[in-house]
Copies of this chain bind each other. A is one copy, B any other.
Amino acid sequence: MPTSLPETLARVRRVVDDRLPGLLADPASGPDAAAVGDALPGAAREALLSPGKRVRPGLVFLVGDLFGAPEQRLLDPACAVEMIHAASLALDDLPSMDDATTRRGRPALHAVHGEDLAILAAVTLIVRAFGVLADAGLSALRPATALDLVSRLADATGLLGLASGQSLDLRTPEAAASFDRLETIHARKTGALFVASAEFGAVLGGARERELAAVRSYARNVGLAFQIVDDLLERQDPARTGKHAKRAPAPTFARHVGEEGARRLVTELTAHAVEALEPFGARGALLREFASLLGARTA
């Protein structure tokens, strides 16, 4: 493990960015001439390769390192998580969802390629994520381990994860946005993939059940804090996030308990995350710093 957190995260971003294109090769660049002109591979690559912080792969690596997982085993699973995340962004921006015309300061995927291709690109990335895990299980990982990751990623993306979180986010009227409901929305929409990322690192490092529970608790709290900070940043300066959405703002903690309350909540969640690391003592230093880093992103 190299010295500092920023160095580690920069390195993870680099190896992930180097690896992603090869995991989503365009079949038409091979012998598959009959499909030349299919715009889908390009759209899917654009969705995946647009510049990002690679926060979730960072979490996979940090937790994996905590348990001594060889980094070479972490890479493809971390890329699979990023594929799901990229798909979720392409879907969020659709006219029937957040109706965003820009993302990270660029035109949204559907604005460039049409809604149909944006949806199909998201589907492509989602199924490829599972394909990448399967390939890893037929080479670098034990099959049972890879299958465990498939199961966790499916859970994080379905009715207890991303899809449900997005559905609740879109369909919860302001009046029904209780504290508990907001927590459920964020836990699913953001927390679930953070938890899966931490689980990936732990499983690949051979963590025991109790250790797994600890990093789950850490990731859940960090994920919630991350989402609240995102909402605060977007509220303070919509241009900052590079996303322009036409939909009325979704229910957020910031609207529910005010900016001060939301900031207190981030502090509390970050403290809970750090507490969960107690069993790991000094070995948890980088994860503690990671939690503080994500929580301190206030404008």
A contact residues vs B (CB 8 Å cutoff): 24, 26-27, 32, 34-35, 37-41, 44, 91, 94, 96-97, 114-117, 119-120, 122-124, 126-128, 130-131, 133-135, 137-138, 142-144, 146-148, 150-151, 153-155, 157-160, 162-164, 166-168, 170-172, 176, 180-181, 183-184, 188
Contact = CB atoms under 8 A, between A and B. Distances in A.
A184 B148 CA distance: 34
Contact of A158 (B114, B119, B128): B128
A135 B176 CA distance: 35
Nearest to A125: B158
B147 A119 contact: no
20 contacts: A38-B167, A38-B171, A39-B171, A96-B114, A96-B116, A96-B119, A97-B116, A116-B170, A117-B167, A123-B163, A127-B154, A130-B150, A131-B158, A134-B150, A134-B151, A134-B154, A135-B151, A137-B144, A138-B148, A142-B143
A94 B97 CA distance: 14
Given A39-B171, A134-B147, 19 more contacts: A24-B159, A37-B171, A38-B171, A40-B167, A41-B159, A91-B123, A94-B115, A116-B167, A119-B119, A120-B166, A123-B123, A124-B158, A124-B159, A124-B164, A127-B154, A131-B155, A134-B148, A134-B150, A143-B146
Copies in the complex: 2
Q: Identify the 4 closest CB pairs spanning chains A and B, nearest first.
A: A131-B154, A96-B115, A134-B151, A40-B167
Contact of A183 (B34, B122, B188): B34
A39 B167 contact: yes
Contacts of A32: 160
A156 B122 CA distance: 15
Contact of A160 (B27, B122, B123, B170): B27
B34 A181 contact: yes
Contacts of A184: 34-35
Contacts of A170: 116
The residue in A32, A34, A44, A183 that gathers the most chain B C-beta atoms within 10 A of its C-beta is: A34
